[in-house]
Structure 1
């Protein structure tokens, strides 16, 4: 197997090696668990902790969002969608271990395959967007999420976001490599990850992500998380009748 085949194999979410995803991802991303904790706290501030809510999780494989949010909010229900059967199996196992399965429905597929007649109170799409190739495809993903949200509902988005031509990119990558290696990630794993950027994944600069969010129908866009080249945003489905303050007062 040549180097290119190894890189492609590493990026396949249906490969057996994704079984180790949950054991290594927090070693690779500084503040990994903080991303989910902050998402929970912001969503809680928007929706309130006690009322029944329906949450859409796009990229639910692995289960971290559902385990974090579901564990803190037993009244909330979750619909998770992911194209990887293996990653969904991991999520299902974790959800069952936490005894959260009664409030969770998992779908193998993509967000645009979900019915449009059910609208959700909030959505997450964490560490997914950079795997979607092309601006049109990224825009369609965000639009498919917006189409399934109630007016004024929040979206929590996080992705690798960068301009690989900028000098700062090399500095960030050097520091990120140091972090991963110091946390026991093998050098060959780092090399596969570094080679995958722009090849098997498609990160775009933060300002472009924000423009895509606006084009998809979101407003009140705000950054809430940063870790090397990963940025997290909070946005709200735009509506002429709702805004953030009105939504908070409805709690």
Structure 2
């Protein structure tokens, strides 16, 4: 969670991320079920923003073999990790990958996901607007990120509790320290209410928080103009 995404150490990511984030696999399971209900399509084309790591592709690919995916990520190493995980799991997807930014996606998609990425992005408004621009009206969107006012007392309480969770799961004090020190430097959380406001400003409606664990929240929304 605090690393140079182009460093070879990213390959430890798949081993540790589920130890760090409470209910990590449940988060993705819920993401899948909400997308499935909204899409109700045997075939769909899904944009996966921040596809490195591969958990979205693993979860969705297992359950929707007829869906196709376009994964975009700024890190070649993380994209390679995603492809390795899919190969190891024996999952063959209709998928292609772009090393770069959301703005490099050229087509419209039936749905999009952006899981555990937004807190790394400085210009969150433009980032969300770029995603919205690639979705038709009524398309579902699932997003999760670390959120909160990093200078507030409540943020401090949540961080202390989260630390206990990680240490209990075998994460070292040193690794926790690197993560804690990265907030405000390498990641840039904002309060959850601000995320919701940005989603609405970017053209999403029916914004619904479906997941919360310490400082991580997940939302489900649709591109404005569709019937819900």
Match of 1:152 in 2: 138
TM-score (norm 2): 0.97
Match of 2:52 in 1: 61
The alignment status of 1:121 with 2:110, answered yes or no, reads: yes
The alignment status of 1:21 with 2:7, answered yes or no, reads: no
User: How far did 1:101 drift?
Assistant: 3.8
Distance in 2 between residues matched to 1:52 and 1:225, nearest whole Å: 26
Q: Which of 166, 181, 195 is the matching residue for 2:167? A: 181
- Matching of residues 212-227 of structure 1 within 5 Å: 212-227=198-213
3-state DSSP of counterpart to 2:62: helix
The aligned length equals 228
Runs of 5+ consecutive residues of structure 1 not aligned to the other structure: 1-6, 245-251
Contact 2:49 2:114 in 1 (8 A): yes
Match of 1:72 in 2: 63
The alignment status of 1:207 with 2:193, answered yes or no, reads: yes
Q: Which of 117, 122, 126 is the matching residue for 1:140? A: 126
Contact 2:65 2:93 in 1 (8 A): no
Distance in 1 between residues matched to 2:121 and 2:156, nearest whole Å: 23
Contact 2:61 2:93 in 1 (8 A): no
Kindly name which structure, 1 or 2, has the bigger radius of gyration based on alpha carbons: 1
Match of 1:243 in 2: 227
The alignment status of 1:106 with 2:97, answered yes or no, reads: yes
User: How far did 1:113 drift?
Assistant: 1.1
Match of 1:248 in 2: none
TM-score (norm 1): 0.88
Runs of 5+ consecutive residues of structure 2 not aligned to the other structure: none
Deviates further, 10-19 or 81-90? 10-19
Q: Over aligned residue pairs, what C-alpha RMSD do you find?
A: 1.3
